[in-house]
């Protein structure tokens, strides 16, 4: 077969979860909770099914859910998106990102990604016929390097993809960094795709800086988020995209032929559940406690922890523990120590020379404790 994606195999998340299952390892690799969501949310979805809300919803999403999203975004980030023309419900953030890319990237367009980055971005751009322009985040700190971003901008640049809180490094962009990006893009017509799926997981009193809060960014942005992350239901695969009406219109042209619509009862259930803001307002404290529990245990090992400012990930440098390459280390760690992790090299297109791996701490305390007991053997 003539392949469209010669460099793509099965994603690392699937590979490592399969290995964890096969070996009985504690799975801190793929990012997903091992605990249940709020039973009230399940009840809300069940109620919607029982009420007979089981046929196709409107193409852009159930109106009450679009309205709930618009209200949340206005309350938290100060920008009002019109729920009719500027909010679209998607089959997870994954679909939102590829649909945004297919909607705006033409063959030959350049799209800037900041490496390390989530593994779907690069193949998405390639499928659209775009040219991937990789700009590294600062090695070691994973902060954006604005000189290098500026140097990567050309007349052919169509879009830049950013992600904060960041998977895998767990850094969170500051207000100053968002302002610098806004200044940098001001003289251009470059579009922004802002992946904010971990928006409600920011620690130590810091605030998530949504592109929605920066008028010069919001005007050019597709902002993507995921109910799966926020409400502990990654398997439901429902997310959303916010964009000014003309960009949303382009998005919807593609969306209707990608998936047409998204699961009806889940949308109704989420809309009802979002009447109370507590579930997402309580999320930072919920995950900060898990992060701290995990970090307290890691401190007793020779793994060197990197900061974790947001997301549900914790990265560690393995240099003091092993001479293996980070991808080999993850296989060894899963098989011999019984804990699965993800090598950071999976988030790069090559040229990775750091010895860092990622753990996910969206797990029950017992799971984290079991993993820590095993890691103590390192």
Q: Which residues bind ligand PMP (CB under 6 A)?
A: 31, 92-94, 118, 163, 167, 195, 197, 226, 228, 234, 237, 239
Beta carbon of residue 95, minimum distance to ligand GLN (angstroms, whole number)? 12
Helical packing angle, 283-298 and 365-375, nearest 10°: 20
Among 83, 95, 163, 167, the residue binding ligand GLN under the rule CB under 6 A is 167
| 31 touches ligand GLN by CB under 6 A | yes
Hey, what are 121's tokens? Answer: 């971005």
Where b means 16+ CB within 10 Å and e means fewer, 294-318 reads beebbeebebeebbbbbbbbbbbbb
What does 116 bind: ligand GLN, ligand PMP, none (CB cut-off 5 to 8 Å by kind)?
none
**Rounded-to-integer distance, Cα 367 and Cα 39, Å:** 21
30, 194, 210, 354: residue in contact with ligand GLN (rule CB under 6 A) = 30
Structure tokens at 294: 């995990």
Q: What's the maximum distance between 2 C-alpha atoms anywhere in the chain? A: 59
Q: Are 255 and 88 in contact (CB under 8 A)?
A: yes
228 binds, among ligand GLN, ligand PMP, none (CB under 5 to 8 A by kind): ligand PMP
Closest to ligand GLN by CB, 86 vs 115, is 115
Name the residue nearer to ligand PMP (CB basis): 329 or 347. Answer: 347
Query: Which tokens is 32 given?
Result: 């997903």
Q: How far is the CB of 230 from ligand GLN (least distance, A)?
A: 13
Minimum distance of ligand GLN from residue 35's CB (angstroms) = 16
Minimum Å gap between C-beta 325 and ligand PMP is: 23
CB of 90 or CB of 167, closer to ligand GLN: 167
Least gap, CB of 173 to ligand PMP (angstroms): 13
What separation, in Å, do the N-terminal and C-terminal C-alpha atoms of the chain show? 44
Shortest approach of ligand GLN to residue 59 CB, angstroms? 25
Residue number, 118 or 329, with CB nearest to ligand PMP: 118
From the CB of 107, what's the least distance to ligand GLN, in Å? Answer: 26
- Residue 11 binds which of ligand GLN, ligand PMP, none (CB < 5-8 A, kind-dependent): ligand GLN
CB of 127 to ligand GLN, least distance (A): 16
Q: Which residue is nearest to ligand PMP (CB)?
A: 92
Residues touching ligand GLN, count (CB under 6 A): 5
* Sole residue written with tokens 């898990």: 290
Could you write out the DSSP letters of every residue in 152-216?
H--TTEEEEEEESSPTTT-----HHHHHHHHHHHTTS--EEEEE-TTTT-B-TT-----GGG-HH
Residue whose CB is less far from ligand PMP, 28 or 372 = 28
| Helix, strand, or coil (residue 29) | coil
**Nearer to ligand PMP (CB atom), residue 174 or residue 234:** 234
Output the CA angle 239-244-247, nearest 5 degrees: 80
Q: Please name which of 300, 304, 367, 269 lies closest in space to residue 39, comparing C-alpha atoms.
A: 269
11 binds ligand GLN (CB under 6 A): yes
Angle, vertex CA 197, rays to CA 194 and CA 202, nearest 5: 105
Q: Which residues bind ligand GLN (CB under 6 A)?
A: 11, 13, 30-31, 167
């Amino acid at each position: 077969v003539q392949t469209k994606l010669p460099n793509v195999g099965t994603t690392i998340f699937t590979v490592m979860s399969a290995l964890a299952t096969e070996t009985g390892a504690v799975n801190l690799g793929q990012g997903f909770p091992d605990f249940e969501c709020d039973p009230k949310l399940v009840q809300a979805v069940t109620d919607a099914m029982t009420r007979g809300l089981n046929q196709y919803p409107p193409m852009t999403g159930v109106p009450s859910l679009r309205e709930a999203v618009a209200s949340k975004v206005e309350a938290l980030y100060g920008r009002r998106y019109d729920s009719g023309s500027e909010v679209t419900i998607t089959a997870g953030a994954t679909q939102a990102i590829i649909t945004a890319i297919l909607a705006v990237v033409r063959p030959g367009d350049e799209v800037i990604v900041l490496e390390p980055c989530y593994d779907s971005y690069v193949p998405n751009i390639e499928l659209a016929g775009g040219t991937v322009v990789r700009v590294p985040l600062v090695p070691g700190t994973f902060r954006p390097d604005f000189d290098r971003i500026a140097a990567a901008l050309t007349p052919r640049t169509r879009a830049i993809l950013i992600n904060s809180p960041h998977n895998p490094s767990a850094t969170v962009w500051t207000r100053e960094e968002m302002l610098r990006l806004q200044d940098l893009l001001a003289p251009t017509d470059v579009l922004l795709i802002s992946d904010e799926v971990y928006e409600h997981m920011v620690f130590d009193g810091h605030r998530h800086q949504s592109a929605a809060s920066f008028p010069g960014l919001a005007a050019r942005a597709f902002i993507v988020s995921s109910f799966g992350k926020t409400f502990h239901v990654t398997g439901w695969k429902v997310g959303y995209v916010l964009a000014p009406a003309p960009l949303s219109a382009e998005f919807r042209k593609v969306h209707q032929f990608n998936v047409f619509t998204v699961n009806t009862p889940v949308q109704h259930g989420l809309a009802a559940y979002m009447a109370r803001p507590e579930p997402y307002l309580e999320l930072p404290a919920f995950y900060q406690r898990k992060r701290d529990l995990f970090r307290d245990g890691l401190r007793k090992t020779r793994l060197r922890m990197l900061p974790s400012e947001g997301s549900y990930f914790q990265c560690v440098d393995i240099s003091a523990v092993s001479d293996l390459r980070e991808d080999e280390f993850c296989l060894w760690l899963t098989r011999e120590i019984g804990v699965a992790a993800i090598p950071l090299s999976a988030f790069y297109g090559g040229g990775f020379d750091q010895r860092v791996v990622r753990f996910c701490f969206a797990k029950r305390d017992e799971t984290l404790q079991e993993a820590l007991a095993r890691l103590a053997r390192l």
